[in-house]
Amino acid sequence: MKLRDIQRLLQAEMLSGTEIQLEKDIASACSSDLMSDVLAFSRSGHVLLTGLANVQSIRTANITGAKAVVYVRGKKPDAEALELAKLKDIPVLTTRCMMYEACGLLYQNGLLGVSLLENVQPSAEVRDYNSFSRSFEIAGRNFSRGGSVSTTIKDIFEDIGIDSAIIRRTTTAAYEAEMNVVMYAERGEMIVHVTPDLVHLQLRDEGPGIPDIGLAMQEGYSTATPEMRERGFGAGMGLPNIKKNADRFEIFSEVGKGTRLEIYFDLHPVRKNEA
């Protein structure tokens, strides 16, 4: 389905984008106001339907490879979100349809949801990369900047030519880890190590620590405040989503001192499978 068809079916107004972008092919739709669910379940090439009209919806769309964002219920994003959408070349539309109506119309006209797509993961292209490391500071409680580090990491990985499937996994994990710092800690640091065979994300925060790591790793468990939920997070998918995307994931935490995450991604899974 073309984005133009979606605009017509939903009688949507285009807030940002071009006529050429309306000719984009859309593979599927993902609808949610919880950005952790979008990170966990969407597929590249989708259109994101949401009522969360803040910059986090655009950052999530960018991380997950969405081709467009449609705000439902007549919602319109703020200037910061629109500016980021233009920067990342993501067309933005708004419709007066409720979420249920919008999804029903698109499904009825042939646009599939992610669960109905063939469960085929693209094979990663085997390439070699120069080794480098880079460190990023993360400010706690600064929701307007939340996700900006992960967006920068995505840009770096695209520039050096890492396979798109690996970029999706690494930046999803980075985004979840970054938002945990924003929500719960005073500050944090994310260090990105890239070698010819591995991407290693290391995150340290100065936060309250996790009293029960086993409980925190369960899907759906959350200590999120109403403010966090209003911003699209706190569904209890963060740490489980990091683990799901990583090839190896380690977590260390001390109550009253903070948490450290070690997240690893193999750049050459084909070579390992052949060994």
- Do 143 and 101 belong to one domain? no
Structural domain ending residue among the three candidates 85, 116, 147? 116
Please indicate, yes or no, whether residues 270 and 144 belong to a single structural domain of this protein. Answer: yes
Residue 232 lies in a domain: yes
What is the biggest distance separating any 2 CA atoms in the chain, rounded to whole angstroms? 55
Q: Measured between alpha carbons, how far is residue 138 from residues 8, 151, 155 in Å?
A: 41, 13, 17
pLDDT in tens, the chain (275 residues): 999 999 999 999 999 999 999 999 999 999 999 998 899 888 889 999 999 999 999 999 999 999 999 999 999 999 999 999 999 999 999 999 999 999 999 999 999 987 766 544 444 455 666 788 999 999 998 988 999 999 999 999 999 999 999 999 999 999 999 999 999 999 999 999 999 999 999 999 999 999 999 999 999 899 888 888 888 887 778 999 999 999 999 999 999 999 999 999 999 864 333 33
121 assigned to some structural domain: no
Which one of 66, 86, 116 terminates a domain?
Answer: 116
Q: Looking at the domain assignment, is residue 126 inside a domain? A: no
Local structure of 197: helix, strand or coil: coil
Considering the domain architecture, whether residues 136 and 256 belong to the same structural domain is answered as: yes
Judge if 58 and 158 occupy the same domain: no
Examine the domain organization and report whether 79 and 178 are in the same domain.
Answer: no
Report CA 229 to chain centroid distance, whole Å. 16
CB 221, CB 215: distance < 8 Å:
yes
User: Domain for residue 260, yes or no?
Assistant: yes
**Buried-exposed string 57-69: b where 16+ CB fall within 10 A, e elsewhere:** bbbbbbbbbbbbb
Same-domain pairing of 176 and 268: yes
Whether residues 98 and 158 share a domain: the answer is no
User: How far is CA 255 from each of CA 64, 120, 180, rounded to the nearest angstrom?
Assistant: 32, 41, 15
Decide if 124 is inside a domain: no
Give this prediction's pTM.
0.85
Residue 264 within any structural domain of the chain: yes
What's the CATH number where 199 sits?
A: 3.30.565.10
Q: What is the pLDDT of residues 52-107, one digit of tens each?
A: 999 999 999 999 999 999 999 999 999 999 999 999 999 999 999 999 999 999 99
Say if residue 187 is in the same domain as residue 236: yes
Residues 165 and 59 in one domain: no
Looking at residue 61, which CATH number applies to its domain? 3.40.1390.20
Other Cβ atoms closer than 10 A to 202 = 18
Residues 190 and 252 in one domain: yes
Domain boundary among 116, 141, 165: 116
Beta carbons within 8 Å of 90's beta carbon, 6+ residues apart: 16, 17, 58, 61, 62, 66, 67, 68, 69
In 10 A of CB 39, how many CB atoms?
Answer: 27
**Total number of domains constituting the chain:** 2
DSSP string covering 213-243, please?
Answer: HHHHTSTT-----HHHHHTT--SS-HHHHHH
Residue 81 and residue 154 in one domain: no
R_g of the chain computed on alpha carbons? 19
Evaluate whether residue 181 is within a structural domain: yes
- Which one-letter amino acid corresponds to residue 250? E
In a domain, 125, yes or no: no
- Regarding whether 78 and 14 lie in a shared domain, the answer is yes
Cβ neighbours of residue 126 closer than 8 Å, sequence gap 6 or more: 268, 270, 271
Domain that holds residue 40: 3-116
Residue 138 CA to residue 146 CA, distance in Å, equals: 8
Distance CA 51, CA 74 (A): 8
